[in-house]
Amino acid sequence: MIVRLLAGLVLGSSVAVGAGPMDTPPLRYACHYTATPIAVDGKLDDAAWAKAEWTTDFVDIEGDAKPRPKFRTRAKMLWDANYLYIAAEMEEPNVHATLTKHDSVIFKDDDFEVFVKPLPKTESYYEFEINALNTGWDLFLPKPYKMGGKADNSWDIRGLRTAVHVEGTLNQPGDADRGWTVEIAYPLRAFESRQQVPMPVDGTEWRINFSRVEWTKGQAREDNWVWSPQGLVDMHVPERWGYLVFRR
């Protein structure tokens, strides 16, 4: 096995030692249309969410090469004429977060991350990270870091709506929490300041992946748990992301 070490800190999720490409194909998710807009409050109790399937539980970013995550993470999606809706549920006995400034390096906290490539044939893609304080970081990548890409941190998701709900008490380590949930209403026209992205129709495919960064006290590095495994510790390999298929 050839092991690569990519040194240095880059914008976006950290990159570290990783294995080679995986033999298993990326996962797929059928995202169904909702005629009723989602009320974004972080609670995932809208009737429309009951009709959306959960993804498979997240796994380690390297896939079967590593043990299964110690806490459950899963997501689901819907869409309408204006938004891609994303919900995430994260089991967590001690929900905590510190960063409150927009466009902070959010993965220094435990976080949930969305990587989306609405034009699959291009090199470009978009990243969004959020912590349990509902603090976000959005950035545009004209191409992956390994190809010499540099993050455009000036890009903002205009019209984005997000909310977080904590099942427990935030930043109180003395008690046991159940976890936290996230709701995201991602505008389908959010990309217009960088690219012309056609509005989706039935059968449109985007590439997408989700990552959860989890820090453990006393552990030197974070855990990275994802929906579609990357095969190495690097989220910036879009060819390993899953497929989002829009359905009416």
104 burial class (0-12, 13-18, 19+ CB within 10 angstroms)? middle
Predicted pLDDT at 45: 97
CATH number, position 125: 2.60.40.1190
Q: Residue 47 in 3-state DSSP?
A: helix
Look at residue 80 and tell me if it is in a domain: yes
Look at residue 242 and tell me if it is in a domain: yes
Please give the chain's pLDDT, 248 residues, in tens.
Answer: 222 223 233 444 444 444 445 678 999 999 999 999 999 999 999 999 999 999 999 999 999 989 999 999 999 999 999 999 999 999 999 999 999 999 999 999 999 999 999 999 999 999 999 999 999 999 999 999 999 999 999 999 999 999 999 999 999 998 999 999 999 999 999 999 999 999 999 999 999 999 999 999 999 999 999 999 999 999 999 999 999 999 99
* 151-173 residues labelled b (16+ CB within 10 A) or e (exposed): bbeebebeebbbbbbbeeeeeee
Tell me, rounded to whole angstroms, the distance of Cα 96 from its chain centroid.
18
203: closest CA among 246, 168, 240? 246
CB-based contacts of 218, cutoff 8 Å, min separation 6: none
Look at residue 19 and tell me if it is in a domain: no
Predicted pLDDT at 24: 86
Distance CA 129, CA 38 (A): 20
Residue 219 structural domain: 28-247
The DSSP secondary structure of 150-167, one letter per residue, reads --BTT---TT-EEEEEEE
pTM (two decimals):
0.92
Tell me, rounded to whole angstroms, the distance of Cα 14 from its chain centroid.
14
Look at residue 105 and tell me if it is in a domain: yes
Q: Please give the helix or strand (H or E) that residue 229 lies within, else none.
A: none
Predicted pLDDT at 23: 78
Look at residue 51 and tell me if it is in a domain: yes
Compute φ and ψ for 239, nearest 5 degrees.
-65, -15
Q: How many domains does the chain have?
A: 1
Predicted pLDDT at 182: 98
Look at residue 108 and tell me if it is in a domain: yes
Look at residue 4 and tell me if it is in a domain: no
Distances (CA, A) of 46 to 34, 36, 203: 11, 9, 25
178: closest CA among 87, 57, 72? 72
Look at residue 161 and tell me if it is in a domain: yes
Tokens describing residue 207: 């590439």
